[in-house]
Amino acid sequence: MRRKVTVVGAGNVGANCALRIADKELADVVLVDVVEGVPQGKALDLLQSGPVEGYDVTVTGSNDYEPTANSDLVIITAGFPRKPGMSRDDLLLANFDVVRQATEQCVRYSPGCILIIVTNPLDAMCQAAFIVSKFSKNRVIGMAGVLDTARFRTFIAQELHVAVENVTAVVMGGHGDSMVPVVRLSNVAGIPLTELMDQATIQRLVERTQNGGAEIVKYLKTGSAYYAPSAAAVEMAESILKDKKKVLPCAAYLEGEYGISGLFVGVPVKLGARGIEQIYQIKLTAEEQAMLNKSAAAVKELVDVIMTRM
Ligand code: APR
């Protein structure tokens, strides 16, 4: 049977998610956006790339949610992107309303779906979707860590002039400036990073990763990154749709893991047909745990703000 994925938000991230899903023939795609004509036009354009690229899936655009019915997976990218000088947190309240509305509608038409959240500020938006959907925690997953580790891996590979596929990196915590690149567990073909670079270089790459989103916003001026974010969301979608059981860093609802409760925080998880099938608990050093606690505290501040609006 053909699978169906809804992408809410037909902007830069959403349209690129739709393109990647179609290109990989993962599922039929429904693009939803509030702007009249945009999802319809982009869907048609994507559909017409099929004969050239050789993919054969249905891509539909809509301003309402009826065509999304019975989606297996929903990726929520709708919202406002970050502008220069704006933190992800400034987006909080504006995007909260968007995610709440999108979640309500998606759940109404696809009560059995799995939700991947991309809209920022990511961890707080996951919490909003989790509460509004009333889904079990394995079915609400945030895209952050796959992107953050992709950035860290890119910078490590560039620095060492090695193939990026040899680089494994671990980034945990919230998707903000306080994210926690776990240097101790990052390696190149099994060789610890600490044996390949001095401390100052590692620190420089860690900071560049933490500011990876802002670096791109500064260049683009009118928006935020979308190629790598859409690639990351679609890697997660593929692992779920194909039940690949990839171990990926994702924002997951924690209930005591890492000493954190009642919050979405980035941790390594197994993604399969049931969504998050396992949360991995790595033994952290005291310093790493302190950084993770600090990052979780930053997430909690935002969650506390949106809880007053629930
Ligand atoms: N319902 C559906 N779509 C909406 C709604 C809504 N209530 N509100 C806004 N949108 C749509 C906009 O019309 C726009 O087409 O969401 C889309 C957002 O697209 P862009 O502005 O291009 O933003 P994008 O770069 O895709 O980023 C979207 O992902 O990475 C995050 O921080 C980023 O939160 C931002 C989100």
The class that CATH gives domain 4-142 is alpha beta
Best residue among 6, 17, 33 to mutate for probing ligand 1's pocket (most ligand atoms within 8 Å of CB) is 33
Q: Where are the domains of the chain?
A: 4-142, 145-307
pLDDT reported for residue 223: 87
Helix axes 145-160, 227-241, angle to 10 degrees: 120
Smallest CA separation from ligand 1 atom 36, residue: 119
**Ligand 1 contact via 12 beta carbon (within 6 Å):** yes
Choosing from 7, 12, 31 the residue with most ligand 1 atoms within 8 A of its CB, the one to mutate for a pocket test is: 12
Measured between alpha carbons, how far is 78 from 174 in angstroms, rounded to an integer?
A: 20
Decide: 226 in ligand 1 pocket, CB within 6 A: yes
Span from the CA of 80 to the centroid of ligand 1 (angstroms) = 5
- Which option is the CATH number for 145-307: 3.90.110.10, 3.90.420.10, 3.30.1490.20, 3.40.50.450? 3.90.110.10
Supply the residue whose CA is at minimum distance from atom 29 of ligand 1: 119
pTM exceeds cut of 0.85: yes
The predicted pLDDT at position 84 comes to 73
The DSSP output letter for 243 is T
78 backbone φψ class: left, alpha, beta (φ>0; ψ -120 to 50): beta
The phi and psi torsions of 196 (rounded to 5 degrees) equal -110, -20
Least Cα distance to 167 among 145, 178, 151 occurs for 151
Answer yes or no: is the C-beta of 77 below 6 A from any ligand 1 atom: yes
Give residue 235's pLDDT.
98
Tokens of 264: 């979405």
pLDDT of res. 1? 79
Chain segment 136-190, per-residue pLDDT in tens? 999 999 999 999 999 999 999 999 999 999 999 999 999 888 899 999 999 999 9
User: What atom of ligand 1 comes closest to residue 14's alpha carbon?
Assistant: 26
How far apart, in whole angstroms, are the C-alpha atoms of residue 253 and residue 299? 12
Torsion of CA 226, 232, 235, 241, to 10 degrees: -80
Q: Is 173 in the pocket of ligand 1 (CB under 6 A)?
A: no
Q: Is 14 in the pocket of ligand 1 (CB under 6 A)?
A: yes
Answer whether 96's CB lies under 8 Å from 122's CB. no
**Could you count the other beta carbons within 10 Å of the beta carbon of residue 307?**
13
**Catalytic site includes residue 175:** yes
DSSP state of 189: T
Say if CB 126 and CB 117 are below 8 A apart.
yes
> Could you give the CA distance from residue 251 to residue 267 in angstroms, rounded to a whole number?
6
CB atoms within 10 A of CB 44: 12
Residue nearest to atom 23 of ligand 1 (CA): 81
Residue 89: the pLDDT is: 65
Residues of the chain with pLDDT under 70: 87-89
Cβ 239 under 6 angstroms from ligand 1: no
What residue's CA is closest to ligand 1, atom 20? 11
Question: Does 272 contact ligand 1 (Cβ within 6 A)?
Answer: no
From the list 42, 175, 270, 300, the catalytic residue is 175
Q: What is the pLDDT of residue 104?
A: 98
